[in-house]
Amino acid sequence: MLTPALQQRLWPYLGGIARENKMKALAIGGVEDHVHLLISLPATLSIAKTVQLLKGNSSKWIHETFPELAKFEWQEGYGAFSIGVSGIDDTTAYIHQQAEHHRKTTFREELTAFLKKHRMPCDDRIFGD
């Protein structure tokens, strides 16, 4: 549902939500079926609250701005990973190259490999099948 036309408006909107809530959006990008955000959070804001703010406010905006997307909804879950300062440049480049990257590797393949590499469990329910 995240068409290129919607992405052009949604990425800056997500950045605005971050800014309004004292987060710093370092990179925002994605493809038709998912979004990646690299954000710096204030110590007072939990990851769960951050995701709630970003998803809730952007969903409301999408419904109000694009009536044809009345059935739009974010998936229930999310993934959150921390990085060190030394990983900012690589992570930013990765986020900005999502369209090219996903021409070769699906989101499912990528996340499954990532979780396996870091010895984390992978439950197929996370893909919403």
Whole-angstrom distance, CA of residue 35 vs CA of residue 54:
11
**pTM, to two decimals:** 0.84
Given a cut of 50, the residues of the chain with pLDDT beneath it are none
pLDDT attached to residue 126: 66
Whole-angstrom distance, CA of residue 61 vs CA of residue 118:
35
Q: How many CB atoms lie within 10 A of CB 48?
A: 10
Whole-angstrom distance, CA of residue 28 vs CA of residue 38:
6
Closest CA to 73 of 60, 86, 90: 60
Class of residue 28 by CB neighbours under 10 A (exposed 0-12, middle 13-18, buried 19+): buried
